[in-house]
Amino acid sequence: MTTTDDPAESARPAGTDPTALQDDGTRRQFISWLTLAFMTTASVASLRPSPSMAIYGLAAIFLYLLPAVVFLLPTALVGAELASGWNGGIYRWVSEALGKPLGFLAVWCQFAMTIAYYPSLLAYVASTFAYVIDPSLAENGLYVAIVIIVIYWSGVWISSRGTKTIAGLSSFGLIIGTLIPGVLLVVLGIVFLGQGNPSAQPMSPDHWLPPWTGLASLVLIVNNFLSYAGMEMNGVHVSSLREPKREYPKSMFLATGLVLLIFILPALAIAWVMPSSQLSLTAGLMQAFQAFFDHFSIGWMTKVVGVMLVCAALGGMLTWLAGPAKGLVLLSRQEGYLPPALQKFNKDGAPQNIMIAQGVVTTLIGVLYAFSDDVSSAYWMFSVITVQIYLIAYLLMFVAVVRLRRTQPGVERGFRVPAVQWVAGVGFVASVAALAIGFVPPDQFGNQPLWRYLLIVGGGLLLLGLAIPAALLKYRKPSWIHPDHRQPSGTP
């Protein structure tokens, strides 16, 4: 093993090349396009949405491929151009193109989507952990509500203490809670079929498209937009590539392929062993593991895998918990978007007050699970609200990239989207379509009242995604700007 006396050199990420010098004489670190592809895959891939697509059996391939082409790739390419031309994230991009109020709306939506995201994530955690203690609890609304509330507030307590180990949990979660269980699930499925066992769902070529019964038959595709959300985040690394124009598209196409494999193969494995009529949207993954392990007479492994999946999900929650809130607070201190009480950091640098406010809403949503007789339905509705709120930010991003091409063509960009109007246009139309389809309940909801679904989904979108940011913009005051960012009186 070789060593170095230079701390910066020893901390250099794998795949980087330190030999180039920047204009200021400092070393510039390059990463390979393969490294960027793996980084992107790690930030997007997950097993959590697999049961939602396993319901459709072989058609899961189509339902993953379609949003990958019309949403995943456009967001990755557009995000790369914007990140390589303007730092500051989506607020800066949208503000430069469409003005600060819409910039605030975009960054607010990135924060607000977590309010609906955490209940759906923790409902998955609750149903998964049920297979460790008592599988019958997986669809028990009261149990799910208690888990959501207890784990969320525990996460707030941990995050508010600025625990340094949280930073390493995401990579740990990828290996322990995604790669190992995902590979294990697929291998079990292949061996299961190789033994001559029939697939629980049809796998013939004539089933590669979902049965068409109207819009409701395609509704579950909306969940895939959330699955792919965040693909644009790694666009900030485009300037670290030696030849961005050539290497970034290669990196994104490879990452897309890897993400699709991680999404599609486990979904198919679940479909091989679980009939769609018996699948739970929250506990489907554990249902499949239990069925496979029981078949191979190693049922005790169900609890082991359940603990692995829970640890990964909790690690992901902790890494997300303070990030969006902290970004919103820092921006609000500069521009005065939030009341001063919500702009405070505690002694450990955590935005504790806004996390508590967020937790109050999360608790109210969690309580709703206690009164739900169908945990899968509640999980789906909050997943849809999460997607729709996030899609508002993406709609603004697609418009921003086209407008900035016209208004600021001279800004140097490390990467330019080819045929940007077409690429952004496809992403915009796909996002609008997904947002609209989200208001149609899927076939699996049976005879539940439509008004309840529309009230929760539509009300959640309007309240969290539009009404609250509109009120904050309308009623904000100059005094809301933090003293450190106020201009002295008399300054123009």
Label residue 255 by pLDDT band (50, 70, 90).
confident
Residue 432 confidence (pLDDT): 92
Judge contact between 146 and 305, C-beta under 8 A. Answer: no
Q: Looking at the predicted structure, is the pLDDT value of residue 193 above 80?
A: yes
Distance CA 118, CA 113 (A): 9
Instruction: Tally the C-alpha atoms within 13 A of residue 41's C-alpha that lie toward its C-beta.
Output: 22
Q: Looking at the predicted structure, is the pLDDT value of residue 9 above 80?
A: no
Residue 14 confidence (pLDDT): 38
Residue 254 confidence (pLDDT): 84
Q: What's the helix, strand, coil split of the chain in %, to 5?
A: 75, 0, 25
Q: Is the dihedral of CA 457, 386, 279, 204 positive or negative?
A: positive
Distance CA 127, CA 281 (A): 10
- Indicate yes or no: pTM above 0.75: yes
Q: Looking at the predicted structure, is the pLDDT value of residue 196 above 70?
A: yes
Q: pLDDT for 213-235, tens place per residue? A: 655 556 666 667 767 776 666 66
Q: Looking at the predicted structure, is the pLDDT value of residue 272 above 90?
A: yes
Q: pLDDT for 329-361, tens place per residue? A: 888 888 899 999 888 888 777 788 888 888 888
Residue 218 confidence (pLDDT): 61
In DSSP terms, which residues pair with 27 in a beta bridge? Answer: 21
Residue 191 confidence (pLDDT): 94
Residue 232 confidence (pLDDT): 65
Residue 177 confidence (pLDDT): 73
Cα radius of gyration (the chain): 23
Q: Looking at the predicted structure, is the pLDDT value of residue 86 above 80?
A: yes
Q: Which residue has the tokens 């959300």?
A: 229
Residues 6+ positions from 95 with CB-CB distance below 8 Å: 102, 103
Distance CA 120, CA 385 (A): 10
Residue 491 confidence (pLDDT): 47
The number of residues making up the chain comes to: 492
Which of residues 383 and 485 earns the better pLDDT score? 383
Distance CA 281, CA 142 (A): 17
- Distance of alpha carbon 313 from its chain centroid, rounded? 12
Which candidate, 456, 403, 394, places its Cα nearest to that of 427?
A: 394
In DSSP terms, which residues pair with 20 in a beta bridge? Answer: 28
DSSP letter string, 180-243: HHHHHHHHHHHHHHHTTPPPSS--SGGGSS---SSGGGGGGGHHHHHHHTTGGGGGGGGGGSSS
Spell out the domains of the chain, with CATH numbers in brackets.
31-475 (1.20.1740.10)
CA-CA-CA-CA dihedral for 436, 438, 442, 445, to nearest 10 = -130
Distance CA 191, CA 469 (A): 52
Please state which of the ranges 22-36, 88-102, 437-451, 472-486 shows the lowest mean pLDDT: 22-36
Q: pLDDT for 141-188, tens place per residue? A: 889 889 889 988 888 887 776 545 454 455 565 667 778 888 999 999
Which candidate, 61, 93, 62, places its Cα nearest to that of 75?
A: 93
- Which one-letter amino acid corresponds to residue 49? P
Per-residue DSSP letter, 32: -
**Distances from the Cα of 150 to the Cα of 119, 144, 146, 155, 366, angstroms:** 11, 10, 6, 9, 10
Residue 26 confidence (pLDDT): 42
CA-CA-CA-CA dihedral for 121, 126, 129, 131, to nearest 10 = -120
Kindly state the average pLDDT of the residues 456-483: 89
Phi then psi dihedrals of residue 4, to 5 deg: -140, 150
DSSP letter string, 440-489: SPPGGGTT--HHHHHHHHHHHIIIIIIIHHHHHHHH--GGGS-GGGPPPT
Mean pLDDT of the chain: 80
